[in-house]
Structure 1
Amino acid sequence: MTERIDGHTILIGLMAYPIRHSMSPMMHNNAFAKLGLNYAYLAFDITDDKLKAAVNAIRTLDMRGANISMPNKQKIIPYLDKLSPAAKLCGAVNTVVNDEGVLTGYTTDGTGFMRALADEGLNIQGKKMTLTGAGGAGTAIAIQAALDGTAEISLFNLHDTTWESAKRNVRIINQETNCQATLHGLEDKEDFKREIASSAIYCDSTGVGMKPLENLSLVEDPSWFHQDMIVFDTVYAPRTTKLMKVARQAGVKHVFNGLGMMLEQGAEAFKLWTGKEMPVAYIRDLLFK
């Protein structure tokens, strides 16, 4: 790293809270080094009260852009100049590109999720998914899965500040795609259990399972799962979440954390910033050691 950084090094940031657990700096900095690109990627703890100033800093410091994660994926939109069509549809941004002071928001989470499944030889086209969460990642996953041919999505969410986002996601999916989406209250555990039982994939896109909630799972009973399904937790720190442990107790064949999704969404962001393809095989070896 010290050999690459000089007066011409271009900065890219990661803005979220909490964020010190993130593997994105390791992923991107190793990719820059592998390709001999003069970029540096740093993580910044950015809470709500700092977000507007942080976005202005992208312009002021002439940063090439930034990744955006919880809790800022939707809150950042008013501070940007433009949105990609997918980001506009999702109402969420996880990647910002700075073109001479014009900030454009993109979303690569949904594509990353679908590519992570494809990397494992799995296809959910024509199948049913139960999904928890309607934040930035959950929204991108739901809409991209619907666009890519998932037949049915049962979206579960708490009746909290993200309930309206969940309603919006279901409405957009039903209006703009051939997928049938329904919204369910996460408080109804019997309904939750029934929908998972009839699904080919269960995906948790909430922060449950990540610090400080690393000892929790929205599904505690292994009997809710069946062996032939996919269980996907978007959390990747810790590597084995409580949800993954429950799924493995049930003998589920395909159990994943969010590392593959992080890699694939990162590869798309990398190309947006640099115009180059990330050396995905090389980075995958580093991430999955």
Structure 2
Amino acid sequence: MGKNKIIGFNVTIPYKEYIISFLDEVLYPAKYIGAVNTVSVSKGKLIGYNTDYYGFIKTLEDIKFNIKGCKAMIIGSGGAAKAVLYALHDNGAKTIEVVARREETLAEHSSIITKIWSFNRGFSLEDYHIVVNCTPLGGANHSNVNPITIIAANEDTLFYDLNYVPEKSLFLKKGEEFGCRTMNGKKMLFNQAYKAIEIWNENNGEDL
């Protein structure tokens, strides 16, 4: 890689977990999330990062959403959901609840999760400040599906869908019906990419 001047690369599903065994070092929070989407090649070593974590935080900073003290709900339990989980926790969310099909996938993270819900129920979201869909449900291949059944919501609740195709998922449209703010994952995609470039530059002492 050094001869070819490769200073880093991105990793996407389904290889975000598989890549870890090939790396020399995995840094926080990727180590705890268990998923790497950015690899830096520095001084002959392969170093793993999770820039989804930073991309998510940056999008909330940009709209001046205050994570500290908030009540949050995460839909899903995969790598993206865990990145969001640690982003919320590390920035002071008061409570973080998760909707998951398999509770055992969250066992290692139970200390920072307030409650785990199953999908087979209706949800009243009036007390939540932010609800984040981290599943593919509602995305390009499942556009006719809403990840959860929503009974009610407060207009101050932020509906955030990591999917960005279609631009407005059924989940976001439901939020709009209740007068809520909505956001898809396109800006998070850009922000995590900017963070990856920043990491590559810092680790190699040069600008791309």
TM-score relative to the length of structure 2: 0.88
2:157 is the alignment partner of 1:229: yes
Q: Which runs of 5+ in 1 are unaligned?
A: 1-57, 174-179, 279-289
| Higher normalized helix content (fraction of residues) | 1
For these two proteins, the number of residue pairs brought into alignment is 205
2:40 is the alignment partner of 1:97: yes
- C-alpha distance after superposition, 1:6-33 (max 9, x if no partner): xxxxxxxxxxxxxxxxxxxxxxxxxxxx
Q: Report deviation, 1:95.
A: 0.8
Distance (Å, rounded) in 1 between the aligned partners of 2:165 and 2:12: 14
Secondary structure of 1:224 counterpart: strand
Radius of gyration: which is bigger?
Answer: 1
Name the amino acid aligned to 1:97: S
Name the amino acid aligned to 2:196: A
What does residue 245 of structure 1 align with?
173
- Native 8 Å contact 1:110 1:145 kept in 2: no
Secondary structure of 1:76 counterpart: helix
Structure with higher RCO (Cα < 8 A, 6+ apart): 2
Identity %: 27
What does residue 182 of structure 1 align with?
115
What does residue 201 of structure 1 align with?
130
- Native 8 Å contact 1:66 1:96 kept in 2: yes
- C-alpha distance after superposition, 1:162-219 (max 9, x if no partner): x433222223x2xxxxxx52222223x14xx14x332111001111122211221113
2:197 is the alignment partner of 1:270: yes
Secondary structure of 1:77 counterpart: helix
What does residue 51 of structure 2 align with?
108
Write the mapping of 1:1-289 to structure 2, written as runs, cut at 5 A: 63-159=6-102, 163-171=103-111, 173=112, 181-187=114-120, 189-190=121-122, 193-194=123-124, 196-221=125-150, 223-252=151-180, 254-275=181-202
* Alignment root-mean-square deviation, CA: 2.4
Q: Report deviation, 1:158.
A: 0.6
Name the amino acid aligned to 2:97: S
Q: Which runs of 5+ in 2 are unaligned?
A: none
Measured at CA, do residues 72 and 197 of structure 1 come closer, stay the same or move farther in structure 2, by a change above 3 Å?
farther
Q: Report deviation, 1:235.
A: 0.7
Secondary structure of 1:212 counterpart: helix
